[in-house]
């Protein structure tokens, strides 16, 4: 049994007078201890809502969450609030995209780190402060004891993100969800944070769910990748296979539209035409069909089902991209 089993997770936003909107549509995936699973997609594909649903952070009113999220066999979605609170922060923790808006601006960093320790590990304040300094040191914040008494605005963006990771790691959670943890940061700082996350997964055996739009980040960090489009997983594969032979036209298009540092210059980029606003609802066919270069007539009539195409790969497409011809079996 996997550490986290997400089955048919569906989130529908409802409001009186408007049509219900399905942000996440039957998303399923597993995460094993020490494994990094990526959720990739563009804005509006439902990747952040998935993470909020797993953490139970969606509002009870307005958002209808169905399916199941099994964490060590316990369904988090049906767990009473009080028990969920005991687990959140202790067993599963989250790192958000914007560190400034997820830290409380009027409370010193030290208090925000020790809060978790006091709540979940019943540590007295003094002992927790020592532990907090250790945590800040571990995530690479210089002079941690001094930083404990400082406020979030006194820290740089990279330092804030580190502080946030320190808070998330305070109770040594078994699952860490990182929602675009490096998007607000510069590349050199991004490299530092990614190296840190990699090290943590390796050293502590933490399972990591990495949510990002950056395929470069995925290539370096994730073991398994789920590509989301319009709230559904359209392709799922091990990272080497995904990048070597993307089968879904969307994944293929994404990879073709990124200028690469190691590719020869001067060639034109191959963008995906149109934008997310051209999507058709999944109930009527394939949401990606209006933008798809491989579109068939069947694509706008029949909703493609998720199929197992072997090698642990899942694909949701009527007319997938042909795999490149490989002369020899590569590693």
Partner 1 sequence: MSTAVTPGSETPQSDTSADTLVSVEGIKVHFPIKRGVILDRTVGHVYAVDGVDLSVRRGETYGLVGESGCGKSTLGRAVLRLTEPTAGRVVFDGTDLSSLRGEELRKMRRRMQMVFQDPMSSLDPRQSVESILVEGLRAHGLDKGREATGKRLRTLLSAVGLPITSLRKYPHEFSGGQRQRIGIARALAVEPDLIIADEPVSALDVSVQAQVVNLLEELQDEFGLTYLVIAHDLAVVRHISDRVGVMYLGGLVEEATSDDLYAEPLHPYTRALLSAIPVPDPLVEDRRERILLTGDLPSPANPPTGCRFHTRCPWKQATRCDTERPELREVLPGHKVACHWAEDIRAGAIRPHEVEAVLVEEDGISPDVPLVGPASMTEALNP
The contact set with partner 1 (CB under 8 A) reads 42-43, 140, 142-143, 153-154, 156, 158-159, 186-192, 194-195, 213-220, 239-240, 243-244, 253-255, 257-262, 265, 268-273, 275-277
Provide the minimum distance between the beta carbon of 220 and partner 1 in the complex, in angstroms, as a whole number. Answer: 4
Q: Which is nearer to partner 1, 167 or 194 (CB)?
A: 194
Provide the minimum distance between the beta carbon of 80 and partner 1 in the complex, in angstroms, as a whole number. Answer: 39
Q: What angle do CA 239, 243, 244 make, to 5 degrees?
A: 110
How far apart CA 177 and CA 55 sit, in angstroms, is 9
Q: Which is nearer to partner 1, 32 or 223 (CB)?
A: 223
The per-residue DSSP string of 253-308 comes to HHHHHS--TTSPSSPPP-PPPS-GGG---GGGS-TTGGG-TT--GGGGTSPPPPEE
Provide the minimum distance between the beta carbon of 44 and partner 1 in the complex, in angstroms, as a whole number. Answer: 9
Helix axes 157-169, 125-138, angle to 10 degrees: 120
Q: Which is nearer to partner 1, 269 or 325 (CB)?
A: 269
Token pair for 123? 């540590």
Provide the minimum distance between the beta carbon of 328 and partner 1 in the complex, in angstroms, as a whole number. Answer: 15
Residue in this structure with the two tokens 């030290």, named with its chain if needed:
110
Q: Which is nearer to partner 1, 190 or 226 (CB)?
A: 190
Provide the minimum distance between the beta carbon of 291 and partner 1 in the complex, in angstroms, as a whole number. Answer: 8
Alpha-carbon Rg for the chain, nearest whole angstrom, is 21
Provide the minimum distance between the beta carbon of 179 and partner 1 in the complex, in angstroms, as a whole number. Answer: 17
Helix axes 157-169, 109-121, angle to 10 degrees: 10
Q: Are 144 and 159 a contacting pair, CB within 8 Å?
A: no
Q: Which is nearer to partner 1, 83 or 275 (CB)?
A: 275
Q: Which is nearer to partner 1, 164 or 218 (CB)?
A: 218
Closest CA to 230 of 29, 26, 54: 26
The SS3 of residue 239 is helix
Provide the minimum distance between the beta carbon of 249 and partner 1 in the complex, in angstroms, as a whole number. Answer: 11
Q: Which is nearer to partner 1, 172 or 198 (CB)?
A: 198
């Amino acid at each position: 049994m996997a550490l986290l089993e997400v089955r048919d997770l569906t989130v529908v936003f409802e409001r009186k007078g408007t049509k219900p909107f399905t942000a996440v549509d039957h998303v399923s995936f597993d995460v094993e201890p020490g494994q990094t699973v990526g959720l990739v997609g563009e804005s509006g594909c439902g990747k952040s809502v998935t993470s909020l649903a797993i953490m139970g952070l969606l509002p009870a009113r307005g958002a209808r969450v169905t399916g199941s999220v099994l964490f060590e066999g316990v369904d988090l979605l049906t767990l009473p609030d009080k028990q969920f609170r005991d687990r959140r922060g202790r067993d599963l923790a989250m790192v958000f995209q914007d560190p400034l808006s997820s830290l409380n601006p009027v409370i010193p960093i030290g208090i925000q780190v020790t809060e978790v320790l006091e709540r979940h590990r019943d540590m007295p304040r003094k002992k927790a402060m020592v532990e907090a300094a250790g945590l800040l040191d571990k995530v690479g914040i210089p002079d941690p004891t001094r930083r404990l008494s400082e406020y979030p605005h006194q820290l740089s963006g990279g330092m804030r993100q580190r502080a946030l990771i320190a808070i998330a790691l305070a109770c040594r959670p078994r699952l860490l969800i990182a929602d675009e943890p490096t998007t607000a940061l510069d590349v050199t700082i991004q490299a530092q944070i990614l190296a840190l996350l990699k090290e943590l997964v390796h050293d502590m055996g933490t399972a990591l769910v990495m949510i990002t739009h950056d395929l470069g980040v995925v290539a370096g960090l994730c073991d398994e990748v789920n590509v989301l489009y319009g709230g559904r997983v359209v392709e799922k594969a091990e990272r080497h296979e995904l990048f070597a032979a993307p089968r879904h036209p969307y994944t293929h298009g994404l990879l073709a539209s990124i200028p690469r540092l190691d590719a020869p210059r001067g060639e034109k980029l191959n963008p995906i035409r149109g934008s997310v606003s051209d999507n058709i609802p999944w109930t009527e066919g394939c949401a990606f069909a209006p933008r798809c270069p491989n579109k068939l007539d069947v694509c706008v009539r029949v909703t493609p089902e998720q199929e197992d195409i072997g090698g642990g790969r899942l694909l949701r497409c009527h007319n997938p991209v042909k795999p490149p011809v490989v002369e020899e079996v590569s590693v």
